[in-house]
Chains A and B, each alone.
Chain A
Amino acid sequence: MSAQDVHGHDDHHHDDGPHSTFSGYMWGFVLSIVLTAIPFWLVMTDIIANRSTAVLVLGAFAVVQIIVHMVFFLHMNGKVEGGWTMLSTIFTVVFVAIAIAGTLWVMFHMNTNMMPMHPQGVQHGAP
């Protein structure tokens, strides 16, 4: 065991990370189990007939569980690092949303926009 260095004031400027608690981890663990079990059960019992409804429900469960992990396991809040952690996370979430939604949007509209469907639109001898 190493000797703890003595601090004259607050002990919040060394790199030991945030303070964890047993109850915090257990809350995160139990919530994660519930939020994992329900989607698996929904899919395995084939309870939702409509595919798009199922996709929305599963997506919602995933988002909630990701937030649970961020709060209970990664100790996210608006105060750590003067808010820069939170800000960079929000930036990443926006970036990821644009990247994924934008990709799907473009790729699933590509055929419509790239291939003229009216008969006069067919180009002959285009370079």
Chain B
Amino acid sequence: MSNPHLNAGGTAALATREYHLAHEPHPENGTALGFWLYLMSDCLIFASLFATWGVLGRNFAGGPNGAELFDLTLVALNTAFLLLSSITFGFAMLRKQVNDKGGTLLWLAITGFFGLCFLAVELYEFHHLIHVGAGPQSSAAMSAFFALVGTHGLHVTFGLIWLVVLMIQISKHGLIHENKRRLMCLSMFWHFLDVVWIGVFTFVYLMGVL
């Protein structure tokens, strides 16, 4: 706010006055909203990939179709791993709230383990598909499949890298304010990936084998 008691030279002739708004704004935090907006933009990437799958998802170029390629048991296993990693991350956040550094690290490690299990199953599936000649270059549907599921898998990969880095930071510096903020962002990211996976297993796998 401008101070009417400043003269032309800009020097405060009088004692500096402080002005206060009647209702001081108290933003909860800028980071949570900013990171949420990033996730929403990520949603748009996945939306375009889902749309691509929706258009091309039945064009298997005369090769084996979804019902013959996708193993629902594997997908159920994958879904279980990701859902378990969501709840274990939740437990990590609960330990964070009571400033239990060891407990937070333990649950983060368990979350990372389930994330690795998810990736292992997904890589096995990709390897199997490529092995039977249903790689991304085999048909439009498989191109769309690998683009969508692979993008999600890459997100999980980078989420795991982030998780490891954050565990190192927490073990070095403890549950300081900055690390709590980073944990909050990573938890949003991780749960968001689980939300995207709901779309993947429903629209790609379940509807693919119908």
Contacts and interface: CB of A to CB of B under 8 A. Distances in A.
Contacts of A77: none
Contacts of A39: 202, 206
B54 A17 contact: no
A62 B90 contact: no
Contacts of B47: 95-96, 99-100
B199 interface: yes
Contacts of B206: 39-40, 43, 58
A104 B47 CA distance: 12
Contacts of A61: 202
Contact of B51 (A74, A81, A104): A104
Contact of B202 (A26, A51, A59): A59
A2 B44 CA distance: 39
Looking at chain A, what size class is its interface with the partner chain?
35 or more
A1 interface: yes
B177 A32 contact: no
Interface string B90-117: 1101100101010000000000000000
Interface string A1-26: 11011000010111111011110011
A32 B195 CA distance: 11
A12 B28 contact: yes
A58 B205 CA distance: 11
14 contacts: A2-B174, A15-B31, A17-B32, A17-B181, A22-B94, A40-B79, A54-B207, A58-B207, A62-B198, A69-B194, A73-B194, A74-B188, A96-B44, A100-B51
